[in-house]
């Protein structure tokens, strides 16, 4: 380039090189705050450890850190199958799904809840706690559910939303208590209450089942002995009586037992069909609203077990409602959940009336008293709790009182049923034995006279 003064100079821009520092890599992260809420974003840092350090300084718990723009590993496509092979595979998968268990034992869910509460209380992030429990869980159904819940949380859903996707494992009570714990920031405390609730509910259920086991076994034993005697023993004695006594009249009790034996042998299919049909009809009736109401009403007023079942229903109502309200669930929503888990339509109807009463601004005690399901003591304690503002504590106190009542009822019922079942078994077997031996006495007397 030449200027006006005649002095020429040459500027070579290519000789000027500006050295800039390389851009810092960007990392995408997924982290949880102190309340368990998930957040995502991008951070510029020199390494993954630096990203983790920055997040922890900000009060976050990183669960996933990866370099932005990383190429995902390609997945190999499965081999193509012939039509026959694909049909077989599809049929096999269908059969596996149909036979797959979809529920878990209450004890398994209780242990999971208790362990998750312990991990969160120890400061472990929710997502990491779910991962730890998923790895050590032996139940395949719960293991799969935990993994899916963890995926939902990692994708941005709340813990309660992830649980709600598995209603067969986590019912409305479980989901709503977890949701209340998330909103209030006391998730670990709510999980501890849930575990305690499950433990006590299972304990009460086991006591009631234990009270039912003894009479059921004795009745089945008596029924089995009676059928065996009527089908195999009585016909042989009938043949002996006919050969030895001829046309001599038999005692009335013997004729009755022989008649029952003949009817059982000739119409066993009818009796079996009537038994199966009765069970089937009762199950069908239990699925209808009216039929279920009749069955539950009869159950509450049953002569021996009715009082125990009533106390169990009151204990369940008090513990469920008290636990929900204590955990921060709104009273109307808590009443609705309690109604769904009542287990008895008569009690559920009373809770529904309580729900409507509270919705209109009235008290809880009036519909409870009008239902005639809850004893005056329970109504009075709830009334005092409502007036003093300590309704949740009073409900849990009622549950504890009725747990003791259930213990006493089970002990009394067991001591009462033992002699009743023994007498019943002796009456059935003794009647058949006496009916068979009375003609034998006549036969022996006739043989002695002939001798």
**DSSP alpha helices (H): ranges in 301-390?**
306-326, 331-340, 345-359, 365-371, 376-388
| 343 vs 100 pLDDT, higher one | 343
CATH topology of domain 306-406: Receptor-associated Protein (1.20.81)
61-65 mean pLDDT? 68
Predicted pLDDT of residue 148:
92
> Where does the pLDDT of residue 72 fall: very low under 50, low under 70, confident under 90, or very high at 90 and above?
very low
Q: Which of 65-69, 84-88, 250-254, 320-324 has the lowest mean pLDDT?
A: 84-88
| Residue appearing with tokens 């008569």 | 346
The DSSP string of 91-105 is HHHHHHHHHS-----
> Where does the pLDDT of residue 32 fall: very low under 50, low under 70, confident under 90, or very high at 90 and above?
low
Predicted pLDDT of residue 37:
61
52-81 mean pLDDT? 57
Assess whether pLDDT exceeds 70 at residue 33.
Answer: no
Instruction: Please report the sign of the dihedral spanned by the C-alpha atoms of residue 149, residue 155, residue 157, residue 158.
Output: positive
Domain range summary for the chain, segments of one domain joined by +: 26-67, 106-170, 306-406
293 dihedral zone (left: phi>0; alpha: psi -120 to 50; beta): alpha
The model carries a pTM of 0.63
* d(C-alpha 133, C-alpha 153), whole Å: 15
pLDDT in tens, 192-223: 888 888 888 888 888 888 777 878 888 888 88
Assess whether pLDDT exceeds 50 at residue 77.
Answer: no
């Amino acid at each position: 380039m030449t200027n006006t003064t005649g002095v020429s100079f040459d500027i070579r821009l290519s000789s000027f090189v500006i050295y800039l520092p390389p851009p810092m890599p960007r990392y995408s992260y997924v982290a949880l705050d102190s309340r368990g809420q998930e957040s995502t974003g991008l951070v510029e840092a020199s390494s993954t450890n630096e990203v983790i350090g920055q997040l922890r300084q900000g009060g976050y718990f990183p669960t996933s850190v990866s370099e932005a723009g990383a190429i995902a590993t390609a997945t190999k496509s499965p081999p193509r199958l012939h039509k026959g092979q694909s049909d077989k595979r599809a049929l096999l998968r269908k059969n596996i799904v149909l036979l797959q268990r979809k529920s878990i034992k209450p004890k398994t869910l209780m242990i999971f809840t208790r362990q998750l509460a312990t991990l969160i209380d120890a400061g472990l992030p929710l997502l990491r706690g779910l991962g730890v429990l998923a790895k050590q869980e032996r139940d395949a159904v719960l293991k799969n559910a935990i993994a899916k819940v963890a995926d939902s949380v990692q994708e941005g859903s709340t813990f309660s939303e992830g649980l709600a996707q598995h209603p067969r494992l986590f019912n409305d009570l479980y989901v709503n208590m977890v949701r209340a714990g998330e909103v209030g920031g006391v998730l670990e405390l709510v999980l501890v209450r849930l575990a305690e609730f499950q433990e006590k509910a299972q304990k009460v259920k086991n006591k009631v089942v234990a009270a039912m086991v003894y009479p059921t076994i004795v009745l089945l034993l008596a029924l089995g002995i009676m059928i065996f005697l009527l089908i195999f023993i009585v016909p042989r004695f009938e043949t002996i009586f006919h050969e030895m006594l001829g046309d001599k009249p038999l005692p009335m009790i013997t004729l009755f037992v022989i008649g029952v034996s003949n009817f059982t042998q000739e119409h066993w299919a009818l009796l079996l069909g009537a038994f199966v049909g009765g069970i089937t009809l009762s199950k069908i009736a239990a699925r209808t609203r009216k039929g279920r109401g009749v069955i539950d009403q009869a159950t509450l007023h049953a002569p021996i077990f009715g009082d125990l079942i009533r106390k169990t229903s009151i204990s369940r109502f008090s513990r469920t409602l008290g636990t929900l309200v204590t955990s921060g669930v709104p009273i109307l929503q808590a009443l609705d959940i309690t109604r769904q888990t009542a287990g008895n339509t008569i009690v559920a109807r009373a809770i529904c009336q309580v729900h409507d009463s509270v919705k209109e601004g009235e008290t809880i005690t009036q519909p409870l008293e009008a239902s005639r399901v809850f004893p005056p003591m329970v109504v009075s304690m709830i009334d005092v709790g409502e007036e003093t503002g300590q309704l949740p504590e009073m409900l849990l106190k009622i549950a504890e009182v009725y747990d003791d009542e259930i213990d006493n009822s089970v002990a009394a019922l067991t001591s009462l049923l033992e002699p009743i079942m023994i007498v019943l078994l002796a009456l059935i077997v003794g009647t058949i034995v006496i009916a068979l031996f009375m003609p034998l006495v006549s036969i022996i007397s006739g043989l002695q006279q002939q001798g």
